[in-house]
Amino acid sequence: MALLGNFTIRFTHNGSTNMWILLIGCIVLDMILAILAAQLWKKANRISPMSEKRGKFLFYLWNELGVIMACICFIPLIVLLLKNDKLDKKTKTIVTAIAAGALLITGLTSAEYHPMSEEKLDSAETAFEGVDVYWTQFGHVFHLDPDHCYHLKDKDYYVGTVTEAIDSGKTRICSYCESHASDEDWNTPQNVLDWITNKNAAAVDQEEGDDLNKAIESTELVLVP
């Protein structure tokens, strides 16, 4: 895309309207293709996620490849636009703003805000074996009981396994369902309750570990002569 943009800029010094349309069209097309590729990448990661044992940094890079791809697609183009001396200031500002906007939109839509790991997927599939979960088309979580969860009230929803829910982008359990799962009238299977308990305990341990690391990093070592 950067090479195509540079090629287009070489012909825009004459003020051709058609060339400007081509340049902006290339930016929009690049944005659409980058977003599509990122969504496919995220879906693939939900089906076959990476293990967190390979390291936090590598795990983060792997899941945020869509954001990295957005930077590769648009940052070189923005640099070329800013360095091009054939463009007048107004034109350069407009086209650069469009490219920057495309970068922002692509980055935000490509980011994986709740990455799924191999360990989390295996744990969920084991706990929810033989248990149906529920989710809506545009939601980001799955639910335990459509008769009790108010998020599903008067809404159309899908029914399936937790694997199908995760494949559809519902990588987390509904907070309302999680907090009420132990209520007697919910009749939640014990293996699901155990999974919720273990998940919350792991989250607490992680938070305490992060706080400890921050405390260590902020502590100044005093050398006594």
* Digit-coded pLDDT (tens) for 99-121: 999 999 999 999 998 888 999 99
Q: Are residues 101 and 180 in the same domain?
A: no
Only one residue has tokens 């954001």, namely 67
Residue 141's pLDDT is 94
Instruction: Judge if 157 and 181 occupy the same domain.
Output: yes
Statement to judge: residues 68 and 131 lie in one domain: no
In this structure, is residue 168 part of a structural domain?
A: yes
Q: What is the pLDDT of residue 72?
A: 93
Q: Quick check: is 167 in a domain?
A: yes
Q: What is the dihedral of CA 146, 150, 151, 156, to 10 degrees?
A: 50
Identify whether 206 is part of a domain. no
136 plus 99 within the same structural domain = no
Q: How confident is the model at residue 222 (pLDDT cuts 50, 70, 90)?
A: very low
How large is the average pLDDT for residues 28-41? 94
Please state, in angstroms and as integers, the Cα–Cα distance from residue 113 to each residue in 4, 30, 182, following that order: 31, 23, 28
Q: Give CA torsion, residues 121, 126, 132, 135, to 10 deg.
A: -20
- The verdict on residue 29 lying in a domain is yes
Q: CA 61 to CA 40: how far, in whole Å?
A: 16
- Whether 127 and 196 map to the same domain: the answer is yes
144 CB contacts (<8 Å, ≥6 apart)? 133, 134, 173, 174, 177, 181, 186, 188, 192
Q: Is residue 191 part of a domain?
A: yes
The answer to whether residues 6 and 87 belong to one domain is yes
Tally of residues, the chain: 225
Domain of residue 77, residue span: 2-110
Please indicate, yes or no, if residue 211 is contained in any of the structural domains.
no
Indicate if 18 and 92 belong to the same structural domain: yes
Among the three residues 59, 94, 110, which one is the final residue of a domain in this structure? 110
The answer to the question of residue 176 being in a domain is yes
Same domain, 49 and 15: yes
Distance between CA atoms of 225 and 223, rounded to whole angstroms? 6
Q: In terms of domains, do 98 and 135 share one?
A: no
Task: Tell which residue, 136, 146, 142, has the closest CA to residue 195.
Answer: 142
Model pLDDT, residue 93? 87
Number of domains present in the structure of the chain: 2
pLDDT computed for residue 200 by the predictor: 83
Choose between 90 and 186: higher pLDDT. 186
The percent of residues above 70 in pLDDT, for the chain, comes to 81
Mean pLDDT for all residues in the chain:
83
Judged against a pLDDT cut of 70, whether residue 80 lies above it is answered with: yes
| Residue 216, domain member (yes or no) | no
Element (H, E) at 208: helix 190-218
207-224 residues labelled b (16+ CB within 10 A) or e (exposed) = eeeeeeeeeeeeeeeeee
| pLDDT over 60 (residue 51) | yes
Q: What is the pLDDT of residue 207?
A: 53
